[in-house]
Structure 1
Amino acid sequence: MARCRKFVHMARLLRYRLENLCALTAALCVIAFPLAANARTLIIEGLSEAPLKWMVDRDPRGIDIDIMTEVLNDMGITDYRFQLVDNGRRLLHNAQNGSSDIILTLSQNAERSQYLQYPDEAHLLLDWRFAVRIEDRDRITFSDFSDLARHRVGAAAEYSYTDTFWQSGLDIEIVAKNDLLIPMLLENRFDVVPVNYLSTLYETLRNGQREQIAFIYPPLRRAPYYNVFSKASDYPDKDAFLKRYDQIIREMRNDGRLATIFQDYLGPDGLDWWQSQYQN
């Protein structure tokens, strides 16, 4: 009889422990995989702009693509699609109506914040810098616009740069297209030109002009850019996604994965760019 009672007690204890184990396992599954339940294909859109994102035979490439792919891999999300659109108006229209879920690399402003949900972490700090010929890198410096008063400054029409740039009192010669600035700089028609640092760096690496130009630090303008969620999107658990996204971006910044991606596309300049963003 005593042996029977002992057996019943052990059976109850085992059932209690099994019930607790099942409950703990279920809770851990909810914590670990809050984004997987009832998920569908995640639609990620952006503008084609190398080296951030572009298509090669329908295969997405670029810094943005690699960063977001790394994030999704960490989350365990495999059902996603990158698609690039041809203009910014269409990109924002799709975000407003929920046709896309995530939009790659946007700056933040009050108007966009009405229909976009921003993470806390910016994955990029994009900037505009002055470029000079390599032989002038020690002669021309920039801490104030007065430093450029004696030099020939070129700029592209319809580019905002900053209000202070246009109001600086410099003798600025305006050209029709932005892609004329570097060739005219190298032809000695200008001494200094403001350029999008990342795209100019990438293009000059590709066309063999990188060794002919230098970029002046600090930037003329710098702004954080985000990968953002459409508020109209019906993708499940967006709040949980963004919380985990922020955590992964911080991890990638600290463990060197972001720096590695930058170097993959920009070589040694990628490490310099990384250090200028996160270590200065």
Structure 2
Amino acid sequence: MTTIDLNSDLGESYGRYTLGKDAEIIKLVTSVNVACGFHAGDPDVMAKTVAEANAAGVAVGAHPGYHDLQDFGRRYMALPPAEVQHMITYQVGALQAFLGAGHHLHHVKPHGALYNAAAKDHDLALAICRGIQVVDPTIPIYGLAHSQLIVAAKEVGLPYAQEVFGDRNYLADGSLVPRSQANAVITDPEVIAKRTVAMIQNQAVTAIDGSTVALTTDTVCVHGDNQAALAIVARLVQELQTDHVGLKAF
């Protein structure tokens, strides 16, 4: 049976602001990417999300991003590679601390603008990988399939998983359609479910120009901040079961 890791970006509430339906989504996915306080999240939310994931037997990963609460980490910042490396180490180390002694992070997945920029910028991707290695060189990075994040991970010997998105549209070069465009995000649970299964079965996706983009699908992401996230995950899990695709953390 084919198996896939289903991940979701969670722990993105902070202070008096609540975002997403984390407790319900955690029960359906196999791994979670927990915000580390820079683009979203705070120490209390980090602790709560880690505890809920551990209780559900779900793999816990760090989700570091740009220091950008105002724009949810979706604003590109031109930072020196050394600064990016330290920023990653800081956030990954913080989340690792919430797992406690004897427990280790399952993976690291960069967030938002940082993730998308590193998909094309090799130096930025290397800085992220090296920032992870400072904390623990055995922690895999989740990166956009066939992107510079994967190239950089191979270069420095960091484990990696190639990620695809069921709820995002793709450009012909394999990158995600920018959120500034109206057709960037898909919200229909039925469309996402069918599209994701096709991506897994075909190891490819149809870009917005109609071309076919080859993919490697180690893990599939559904964004937790999507208003329909819970319905999307539930429908996707149902479709995967129907098509005999098992769920297992990477």
**TM-score, length of structure 2 as denominator length:** 0.32
Work out which of the two has the higher radius of gyration on C-alpha atoms and give 1 or 2: 1
Q: Which has the higher contact order (CA 8 A, sep 6+)?
A: 1
Whose helix proportion is higher, 1 or 2? 1
**TM-score, length of structure 1 as denominator length:** 0.30
Whose strand proportion is higher, 1 or 2? 1
